């Protein structure tokens, strides 16, 4: 039995970057399947477009820096970035939207800063925010879940909408967004935020069909699927529990307090936790090892900060979901968090 001496840091689980990223993609699969079931084939086409664009951009950037492309491509970091961005946008978004977002995420946010391990912002969320600010109509055109939609879109119909913005029968995305009762559908968070701003109470806002069951038809199962994938990553020690726990506490505790003190204006912690991109953000986006805090205590604070920011933006901000903005704002705070949570070496005094 050999004893190998190696310098610090001493990782308990030694995995190559490509292996880690591969497990992240595998853990996304339950959510991808649920998203396909409730929102149609557009999800698959967005993934194909995003991943193809990411690999082309990655190869061109690496070759422009006089490096071999294949060793960088096979680390699977571009695959994860593209997948997260594709899963965050409406399934029938025009093809050029996801292409622009991925180009910005890979070329500007990742490679301009030096490539893998050098970016200060989460590339997928930076690309998402660029698209949301630049193309707000396309980025907020979510379809109703299949059970509430009056149109049934097949494989060719979905592809035709993404490529040409109309179905073969001439229906636009805006027409496809109407539910079986003729009402233009919105996401649960968007619907609740709009109704509360119009003076409805929370109980009245939650009477809409989109809030079927306990947290939003389709969205609740989507978030539970990403939760299952995230717990798998924690079990395999691909990610630590600190950021997801911090984020969910930072989001749900203020939501619970709002229920206690202002019940008429609160949709409650369960809907906050199981609607929008909460679980995808908690387990797959905020846990990016490059742009997040480094120490365990710092990760907990980092997650808490994201959760509180998500609650504040959802409640009083201009956007119904806030994961991307909260993650980028928290990324800016990472140097400060790391400074005050960095573990002190034995025998040394903590610097002020």
Asked whether residue 346 is domain-assigned, the answer is no
What is the model's pLDDT at position 172? 86
Asked whether residue 279 is domain-assigned, the answer is yes
Asked whether residue 211 is domain-assigned, the answer is yes
Asked whether residue 7 is domain-assigned, the answer is no
Asked whether residue 43 is domain-assigned, the answer is yes
From first to last of its 352 residues, the chain has per-residue pLDDT tens of: 555 655 544 555 567 888 999 999 999 999 999 999 999 999 999 999 999 999 999 999 999 988 888 888 889 999 999 999 999 999 999 999 999 999 999 999 999 988 888 889 999 999 999 999 999 999 999 988 888 877 788 999 999 999 999 999 888 888 888 876 667 677 889 988 888 888 899 888 888 888 877 788 889 999 999 999 999 999 999 999 999 999 999 999 999 999 999 999 899 999 999 999 999 999 999 999 999 999 999 999 999 999 999 999 999 998 888 999 999 999 999 999 999 998 766 555 655 5
What is the model's pLDDT at position 143? 87
Query: What six digits make up the tokens of 118?
Result: 């050098």
What is the model's pLDDT at position 152? 82
Q: How many CB atoms lie within 10 A of CB 105?
A: 31
DSSP assignments along 269-320, one per residue: HHHHHHSTTHHHIIIIITT-TTTS-SSHHHHHHHHHHHHHHHHHHHHHSS-S
Q: 3-state secondary structure string, the chain?
A: CCCCCCCCCCCCCCCCHHHHHHHHHHHHHHHHHHHHHHHCCHHHHHHHHHHHHHHHHHHHHHHHCCCCHHHHHCCCHHHHHHHHHHHHCCCCCCHHHHHHHHHHHHHHHHHCCCCCCCCCCCHHHHHHHHHHHHCHHHHCCCCCCHHHECCCCCHHHHHHHHHHCECCCCCEHHHHCEECCCCECCCHHHHHHHHHHCCCCHHHHCCCHHHCCCCCCCHHHHHHHHHHHHHHHHHCCCCCCHHHHHHHHHHHHHHHHHHHHCHHHCCCHHHHHHCCCHHHHHHHHCCCCCCCCCCHHHHHHHHHHHHHHHHHHHHHCCCCCCHHHHHHHHHHHHHHHHHHHCCCCCCCCCCC
| Structural contact between residues 250 and 305, judged by C-beta atoms closer than 8 angstroms | yes
What is the model's pLDDT at position 180? 62
Domain that holds residue 108: 17-340
Q: How far is CA 50 from the centre of its chain?
A: 14
What is the model's pLDDT at position 352? 54
Domain count, the chain: 1
Q: What is the pTM of this model?
A: 0.91
Q: Which residue has the tokens 């073969």?
A: 168
Asked whether residue 289 is domain-assigned, the answer is yes
Euclidean distance between CA atoms 191 and 208, whole angstroms: 9
Query: What six digits make up the tokens of 210?
Result: 């989109």
What is the model's pLDDT at position 1? 53
Element (H, E) at 57: helix 42-64
Asked whether residue 33 is domain-assigned, the answer is yes
| Structural contact between residues 320 and 189, judged by C-beta atoms closer than 8 angstroms | yes
First-last CA distance in the chain: 45
| Structural contact between residues 283 and 230, judged by C-beta atoms closer than 8 angstroms | yes
What is the model's pLDDT at position 16? 85
Torsion of CA 142, 143, 146, 147, to 10 degrees: 90
Asked whether residue 273 is domain-assigned, the answer is yes
């Amino acid at each position: 039995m050999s004893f190998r001496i190696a310098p610090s840091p001493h990782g308990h689980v030694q995995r190559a970057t490509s292996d880690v990223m591969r497990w992240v993609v595998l853990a996304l699969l339950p959510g991808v399947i649920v998203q396909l079931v409730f929102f149609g084939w557009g999800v698959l086409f967005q993934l194909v477009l995003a991943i193809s664009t990411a690999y082309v951009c990655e190869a061109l950037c690496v070759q422009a820096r006089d490096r071999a492309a294949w060793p960088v491509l096979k680390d699977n970091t571009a695959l994860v970035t593209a997948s997260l961005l594709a899963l965050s946008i409406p399934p029938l978004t025009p093809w050029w939207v996801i292409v622009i977002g991925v180009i910005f995420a890979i070329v500007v946010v990742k490679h301009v800063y030096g490539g893998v391990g050098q970016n200060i912002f989460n590339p997928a969320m930076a690309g998402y925010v660029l698209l949301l600010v630049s193309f707000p109509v396309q980025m907020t055109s979510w379809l109703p879940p299949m059970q509430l939609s009056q149109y049934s879109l097949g494989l060719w119909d979905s592809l035709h909408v993404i490529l040409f913005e109309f179905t073969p029968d001439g229906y636009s995305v805006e027409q496809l967004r109407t539910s079986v009762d003729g009402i233009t559908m919105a996401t649960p968070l968007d619907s609740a935020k709009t109704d509360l701003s119009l003076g409805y109470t929370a109980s009245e806002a939650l009477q809409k069909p989109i809030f079927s069951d306990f947290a939003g038809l389709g969205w609740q199962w989507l978030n539970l699927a990403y939760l299952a994938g995230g717990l798998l990553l924690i079990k395999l020690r691909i990610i630590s529990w600190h950021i997801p726990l911090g984020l969910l506490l930072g989001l749900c505790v203020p939501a619970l307090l709002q229920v206690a003190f202002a019940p008429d204006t609160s949709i409650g912690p369960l809907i906050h936790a199981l609607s929008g991109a909460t679980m995808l953000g908690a387990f797959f986006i905020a846990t990016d090892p490059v742009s997040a805090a480094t120490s365990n205590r710092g990760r907990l604070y980092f997650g808490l900060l994201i959760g509180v920011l998500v609650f504040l933006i959802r409640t009083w901000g201009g956007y119904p979901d806030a994961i991307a903005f909260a993650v980028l704002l928290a990324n800016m705070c990472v140097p400060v968090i790391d400074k005050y949570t960095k573990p002190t070496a034995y025998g040394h005094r903590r610097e002020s």
